Amino acid sequence: MYHEERLDPELAPLIPTLANWLNLDDIPATRTALTTMFVQMASQLPKFDDVVTHDTYVPGPKRAPDVLVRVYRPRNASHVLPAIYYIHGGGMILGTLNENDIPCQSLARELGCVIVAVEYRLAPEHPYPAPLEDCYAGLKWLMSNASALNVDGKRVAIMGASAGGGLAAGLALLARDRKELKIAYQMLIYPMIDDTNVKSAKAAKNDYYGWSRASNRIGWQAYLGKRFGGSNVPAYAAPVRAKNVRGLPPAYVSVGDMDLFLNEDLTYAHKLALAGVPLDLHVYPGAIHGFDALAPASGVAKRATADMIRALRAALTA
């Protein structure tokens, strides 16, 4: 049951806008609208002249196009640095790496590390496994070129929010099983990891702001294609289905307690903890999906950001 009175008071003003903010009936138009929105938001945020960036195309998956990655590095940093491989969100159907320019620059500056952000192909044009394989290809390039990038290959974390968090969780499983890449840490911010969490809301008051059940159904259906609704969905696509999570890198999982993904994220965190995977779990009272991006100046967003930075610093500089 969704209880609006439990909303963090600093997030409540967002609700009238968020109630109908996504129109997934026209995905291309929504992509354009979101890009415009994020550009406007970014224009109001500080720019970081002490972080340099460059784009490059890296070898893609077999029989697939090359993958665009963007590398962020603190200016004048000549020594070897840890790295974060960043995967953007968007329900598997929306988003670009451009929309996270400011957060990635901020992370590079705050942590003194290299950030590599990946532009993966989107569903429904490119369903599973294309987005995940693009992410794997970008990470493989980072690991293979760690020396040239002046990166410490033993201190590479993967990170993503929402769909990006789901892809990061799937990437951790895939890297473990292929035994090619050694990931030091996985940061999963309200990850989208359960393809069965798609039941229709009985009433609007029972739905979730920021990302609704209806939107979740559209996203999973687009991502899984013919697999949607079946029993043969791989854990790499929907990590909450994983029966074996042993041997995964230490994990950070965070979610608001008014987020549609709360139960699936807690379920996955429980699996990780029981399997002996070092776990740092954070649940933020009164927080909705995407609260930190939608209201970065709110107290709960500042707490979440501080917790995230603290965990990354500990994981990458130990």
Q: How does the average pLDDT of the chain come out, rounded?
A: 92
pTM of the model: 0.95
Tokens of 43: 């224009």
Q: For 112-126, 146-160, 201-215, which range has the lowest pLDDT when averaged over its residues?
A: 201-215
pLDDT of residue 210: 85
Give Cα 121 to chain centroid, integer Å: 15
Are 217 and 196 a contacting pair, CB within 8 Å?
no
Any idea what the CATH number is for the domain that residue 146 is in? 3.40.50.1820
Instruction: Give percent of the chain above pLDDT 70.
Output: 94
pLDDT in tens, 63-103: 999 999 999 999 988 899 999 999 999 999 999 998 899 89
pLDDT of residue 204: 45
Our CA angle for 131, 290, 207, nearest 5°, is: 100
Count up the domains in the chain and report the number.
1
Q: How far is CA 247 from CA 145, 176, 182, 273, in A?
A: 24, 7, 11, 12
Q: Which pLDDT band, with edges at 50, 70 and 90, does 200 fall under? A: low
Q: Which pLDDT band, with edges at 50, 70 and 90, does 202 fall under? A: low
pLDDT of residue 1: 41
Q: For 198-202, 271-275, 289-293, 310-314, which range has the lowest pLDDT when averaged over its residues?
A: 198-202
pLDDT of residue 19: 65
Per DSSP bridges, beta strands 67-74 and 51-58 are antiparallel
Q: What is the arithmetic mean of pLDDT over 304-313?
A: 98
Q: Which pLDDT band, with edges at 50, 70 and 90, does 203 fall under? A: very low
Q: What is the DSSP string of 59-103?
A: --STTS--EEEEEEEETT--S-EEEEEEE--STTTS--GGGGHHH
pLDDT in tens, 242-285: 999 999 999 999 999 999 999 999 999 999 999 999 999 999 99
pLDDT of residue 137: 98
Q: Which pLDDT band, with edges at 50, 70 and 90, does 39 fall under? A: confident
pLDDT at 3 over 70: no
Q: Which pLDDT band, with edges at 50, 70 and 90, does 313 fall under? A: very high
pLDDT of residue 17: 77
Q: Which pLDDT band, with edges at 50, 70 and 90, does 23 fall under? A: confident
pLDDT of residue 206: 53
Domain of residue 66 covers 4-317
Q: Which pLDDT band, with edges at 50, 70 and 90, does 38 fall under? A: confident
Are 14 and 208 a contacting pair, CB within 8 Å?
no
Q: What is the arithmetic mean of pLDDT over 105-111?
A: 95
| Side chain identity, residue 20 | N
Q: Of 306, 186, 160, nearest to 245 (Cα)?
A: 186
pLDDT of residue 308: 98
pLDDT at 54 over 60: yes
